[in-house]
Structure 1
Amino acid sequence: MNARVRLGIAGFDHPHVLRFAPMLAADPRVELAWIAEDGANRAAATTMAERLSVPLLAEPATDVDAAYLAVRPGRHLAVVRRLAPAGVHLLVDKPIALTAEDGQAIVEEAARSGVRLMVPFNPRGQVGPRLVRERIERGELGEIRLVHVVKVGKVPLTIPGIDASWLTDPAEAGFGGFGDIGMHAMDALRWLIGTGARRVYARIHRGARPELSVDSIGTATIEWVGGAVSTLTAGWANPDGYPSFLDARFEVVGTLGAARVDHPYQEIRVADMSRSERLAAARTDAAWSLDAFIDSVRFDRPPPISGEDGLRALELMLACYQSASTGEPVELA
């Protein structure tokens, strides 16, 4: 495809849309055709559509080459079934679905319709984790034995410009803080370790923000085929007054070496004798995800993160919640 990719934005619920929409509108490879929203965020979608000079629709149309799905995850399957048979390629935000059955149905619908399907997981596009992955691929760290990830942020109720309260509704979000923020890390663990998980044990609770109706934080231990072990702590642990919205750390230990990423967003701090200042962090993940998806459509090639990757991350997260519910490990393989 040599022409620009004609792309629509289906929904305005996922907070990623606040970054993705302006970036898509500014991309010379893309013709942003419309934004479709008829729910709680219609006012926010109207403001964005007017800002970007694109039409606002009530429902996604099939007159596009591709679509970014920012609807609530429980609606993903219905929108995929509307768009995929019309040949619309799909960038479906995480989680791919609320259940493994719906996730599998989305993967199958995309395959049956012959369209590209990608899930934008942030760590794959961040400089630090990508450098670690390159060293793993070159064998510099040897066989991976331990990966430790901490990924914590603020409750999404504080995000300006969008009503993200649905993320604290278990019927709409499916998960709480551990699932919301930890889903990115689940994919990163699979990507870094390179094998499937075989056993999961997790503790997930509301301790950090007990006033919420969903969990706020959790920790999981995952054993992997081949012998690696990982730990993941994730959730809404940062208080509203915390200086940054999101913090993350990755540690990888192998038989020949180790690597650590203290802040994937390349945070820069400067100081003199009397004060310090935090400069704006450089975020490469959104641009990387959009570049990868757009080029997969333009050049008819598989995206670097597949629908299957999104499904596997969902299955791991569901196993964590099952373990936390029963208090027992969950066997996967």
Structure 2
Amino acid sequence: MRAPAFWQGANLLSDILMPLGDLYAAGGWLRQRLAAPKRVGVPVICIGNLVAGGAGKTPTVLAVLAKLRARGLRPAALLRGYGGRLTGPIQVDPGVHNTGTVGDEALLLARAAPTWVARDRAAGARAAADHADVIVMDDGFQNPSLAKDLSLLVVDGASGFGNGRLIPAGPLREPVARGLARADALVLVGRDRQDTARRAAGKPVLRASLQAHGGGGLKGRRLIAFAGIGRPAKFFETLQDLEADLIGTAEFADHHPYTSGDLAPLVAKAERAGASLITTEKDALRLPQALSAAIEVLPVELVFARPTALDGLLDELFGGLRGKAGASADG
């Protein structure tokens, strides 16, 4: 879905929908209260957010996986597999699976670490735990079925928490205060234009940015960019920051499965203007095979402003777990 514009401010439509948002919040509260979260024998790190739509969760998962591998651990990724038809639990095989079976995010994560897709998060974690020292879950912060040992909330600095209202009156999946109470830290991606850090309720705030790989060659080049991610404008802004000559853009719904018909007008426009088409790494996984070679891809990675900030949280996590294990053994 594409986040509606009215989610970013107070307006009549949002006011009308607020009672439905209250019901949504009540349902989420009841779900949390009645749940009995399961443990699977290895620590679970959850990378979630409080809003519907893109905030930068998948790049954050990739950054955490890299940190864990650097510690000599064997991490696995776990996600629902949005956009794919397989319910799992199943390990992603990029040679066998595609976006139609497991979704684009699962294929992207599988390049970095063993990755499992499962609609039942606890069942997926049990399957992944047989092959990993630690599980990193992409999304699922509001899913109470699986116990989390460390929860990081990813927040887009430009949009923050939107208008602060619950779905469908706004983008929030749950009230901000309730979500922050369960989180261990915030990952704030990009410039904090909404003063989100002030609302962190004393939680650590890890500031980060999305940085492009190989973007130096784009300066001055005529480009037409398109994206079907949570916030396409973020991708377009990245290209502008790289000083590309961005002569056109096109937004599609998040996880949109591209067809040749979708892209034909963009291909024709690029040919007329002497420009190149460019998209995100995640979008590239959903391109028709016949067009993929003709469309450029700009990969990005999450870079923390203070690289040791995440290390401190991981030290606390694994130190605490060792302490619990020692106490159990002594007892």
After TM superposition, the score normalised by the length of structure 1 is 0.33
Which is strand-richer, 1 or 2? 1
After TM superposition, the score normalised by the length of structure 2 is 0.33
